[in-house]
Amino acid sequence: MSTPTTTLALGPDWLDPEVLISTFGLLGILVIVFAESGLLIGFFLPGDSLLFTAGLLTADGKYITWPLWLVCLLITLSAIAGDQVGYAFGRKVGPALFRRPNSKLFKQENLLKAHDFFEKYGARSVVLARFVPIVRTFTPIVAGVSRMNYRTFVIYNVVGAVLWGTGVTVLGYFLGQIPFVKANIELILIAIVGISVIPIVVELLRARLAARRGTTAAERAAAEEAIREAREHFGKH
């Protein structure tokens, strides 16, 4: 079987999943998954489409000749390791880093929103974030900053890594053998990226609507109190 060459229209050619896999092979996939799972520099990498393409190419035996179970195992382990590094970074360096004045890369408000997200959804956020680009890169770091219980983080980190790393790869493996999918792989990859950013779009729309609506004096007072308490909390670590 042969797989049509794809050039994902959503980014530069060197971020095209098939180009990355054909150039760096399975090792490149593992490095990218590790970086996107917890290193600050990995937020722009094509995680979902990369895993789907990895499964498809594993089915074809093109560029990846390892068995599916081994590919999934290694990807899952890389995802787990990446999150562990992100958590450790956030726990040891994060508090001091996020106490600095706002910059292009770090905003105090983003840290506070992430803190509220953890307060609301708890450990489930570690699993859910796996399926949202950009968010999955920063979530383990924020988990470390927020001092999430380590054992709880490890458990949900493993669950999320298995569901994402193995699930998306297996999906690509089996769907990639369907003629329609193989003939329209670029559209499929664009659809995957589009679906994965829906939560971000929804959040942006909600924020814009909230800004248009404005806030009451009570809401502003509550927000200021939350900010003060969060800053005092992070200042202790």
pLDDT confidence bin for 222, thresholds 50/70/90: low
Q: Are the C-beta atoms of 43 and 163 separated by less than 8 Å?
A: no
Q: Are the C-beta atoms of 185 and 4 separated by less than 8 Å?
A: yes
Question: Residue 112 phi/psi, 5° resolution?
Answer: -65, -40
Cα 150 to the center of its chain, rounded Å: 19
Tokens of 135: 């968010």
pLDDT at 170 (0 to 100):
93
Per-residue pLDDT tens over the stretch 63-112: 898 999 999 999 999 999 999 999 998 888 876 766 666 666 566 665 66
pLDDT at 8 (0 to 100):
42
Average pLDDT (9-25) is 69
* Count of Cβ atoms closer than 10 Å to residue 148 Cβ: 21
Say which residue the tokens 């953890």 belong to.
Answer: 118
pLDDT at 182 over 70: no
What's the burial of 230, exposed, middle or buried (CB within 10 Å: 0-12/13-18/19+)? Answer: middle
Q: Is 68 helix (H, G, I), strand (E, B) or coil?
A: helix
The angle that helices 68-92 and 47-60 make with each other, rounded to 10 degrees, is 160
- DSSP letter at 101 equals P
Q: How far apart are CA 59 and CA 54, in angstroms?
A: 9
Question: CA–CA distance from 230 to each of 8, 78, 179 (Å)?
Answer: 41, 32, 53
Question: Residue 45 phi/psi, 5° resolution?
Answer: -75, 150
pLDDT at 228 (0 to 100):
59
Q: How far apart are CA 219 and CA 210, in angstroms?
A: 12
pLDDT at 84 (0 to 100):
95
pLDDT at 7 (0 to 100):
41
Query: Average per-residue pLDDT in the chain?
Result: 75
Domain residues of the chain, as ranges? 17-183, 186-236
Minimum mean pLDDT among 48-57, 73-82, 114-123, 139-148: which range? 114-123
In the chain, what percentage of residues exceed pLDDT 70? 56
